[in-house]
Amino acid sequence: MDLILAQTFLEIVHTRSFLRAAEQLHVTPTSVSARVRTLEELLGRVLFVRNKAGAALTPAGEQFLPHATSLIQVWERARHQVAVPTGRRAVLSVGCDVSLWDPLLLQWLLWMRSAAGHLAIRTEVGVPAELLDKTASGVLDIAIVYAPQQRPGLRVELLIEEKLVMVTTSKRPRIPSPLDYVYVDWGSDFATQHWLAYPGLSNAAVRAGLGPLGREYLLEAGGTGYFRLDVVRTHLETGRLRRVPDTPEFLYPAYAVYAVGADPKLVNPALAGLRQVTRPRQPPASPARSRTRSRA
C-alpha cells in the first residue's frame, strides 16, 4: 500500500476534515478525496462518512485505523534505523515538552550515555500536540509531556508528579502585588487553578511562556512566581529563593508516551533512564499548605 494513502487517512482522522487535512498535507481537497477513493477501492470498504460536522470514521474505518497507524510507525522506524551512525546499533528519538526539558532532558542524556552507549540519540523540544503527533506517526519513539491526551495506539506512563510552588527573592516572603509577580504559563489547567486562587495576580507585570526564562528573570531582577519545585530546590537550599508561606501547591505531572508497538530494545532503556532521573528526592521543610488537583 502507498504510504501517502495511509498518511492521508490518518490526517483526516486527526483533523476530522478533508479540507483541513488538505491544508496540513499541502495538497488540494480534490487530491485528498482522490486518495481516499483509491484507498477505499483497495480495501473494498467505505472508510469515512462526510457531513456538515466534518468527516467521521465508519466501522470499517475504525478497524483500519490501528493498521494505518502501525504502517506509518514501522516505516518511520525503518527510515531512522537505516541512518544509524557508525558504532551505534540503533537510533532512539525522544521529544520533550518545552516546559519540562530543563533539567530533565540533560540529566536523562547523561544517564543514557553511561548506561546505553550503544544507542544513538536524537532529541527535540516542542509543544505537546506536535510531540504526540510525531510519536503516533513513529517519528519519535518517546514523548515526555505534561497531561497528554489519550490517543489510540499510544501508551502513557506517569514519570513524576512534580509540584509548582510559589517562591520569591524577597527576604520577607508574602503574597506579591501584580507589579512584583512573574506569571509563567504552565498550561490551561494551571491557569484555571491559579485564577481561582489569585484573581488579583492575573495582570502580572511580567509573563513568561517558558519556565526557564521566567526563573532566570526572577533570579536576575527579583520578584515572585510559581516554579517547579525540583528545579528551584537548589536555590531554596542556598537561600537565594524562599517559599512563600500559606500558598497552595499545584501538581504538574510529567508523562512518557510511546507507541504500543514500540521496539522494547529502544524504549526500555530510555524508560529506565527516565524513571531513574525523575525519582523523587526528599524535599526541604515547607510551611506551605497543599492544594492539589487530580488529572482528568
> What is the distance in angstroms between the CA of the first residue and the CA of the last residue of the chain?
38
CATH 1.10.10.10 domain locations along the chain: 3-64
Query: Do 273 and 108 meet the contact criterion of CB atoms below 8 Å apart?
Result: yes
Which pLDDT score, from 0 to 100, does residue 281 have?
Answer: 63
Residue 287: how many other CB atoms lie within 10 Å: 11
- Its sign, for the CA torsion 169, 170, 175, 180, is negative
69, containing H or E segment: helix 59-82
Residue ranges of the alpha helices (H) in 83-115? 101-115
Query: Do 287 and 170 meet the contact criterion of CB atoms below 8 Å apart?
Result: no
Which pLDDT score, from 0 to 100, does residue 72 have?
Answer: 84
Distance CA 174, CA 247 (A): 9
Local mean pLDDT, 10-residue blocks, the chain (296 residues): 87 91 93 94 93 89 88 78 74 92 92 94 91 88 91 92 96 94 93 94 91 95 96 95 97 94 92 92 49 42
Which pLDDT score, from 0 to 100, does residue 87 have?
Answer: 73
CATH 3.40.190.10 domain locations along the chain: 81-160+253-277, 162-252
Taking CA 171 as the corner, what is the angle to CA 170 and CA 172, rounded to the nearest 5 degrees? 85
Distance CA 129, CA 161 (A): 20
Query: Do 106 and 277 meet the contact criterion of CB atoms below 8 Å apart?
Result: no
Fold of 81-160+253-277: D-Maltodextrin-Binding Protein; domain 2 (3.40.190)
Which pLDDT score, from 0 to 100, does residue 137 have?
Answer: 82
pTM of the model: 0.68
**CATH number 3.40.190.10 given to 162-252:** yes
Which pLDDT score, from 0 to 100, does residue 282 have?
Answer: 56
String of DSSP letters for 174-196: -PPPGGGEEEE---HHHHHHHHH
Fold of 3-64: Arc Repressor Mutant, subunit A (1.10.10)
Main-chain dihedrals φ then ψ at residue 260, nearest 5 degrees:
-55, -40
Distance CA 134, CA 141 (A): 8
pLDDT digit string, tens, across residues 192-250: 999 999 999 988 999 998 899 999 999 999 999 999 998 999 999 999 999 999 999 99
29, containing H or E segment: helix 29-43
Query: Do 135 and 258 meet the contact criterion of CB atoms below 8 Å apart?
Result: yes
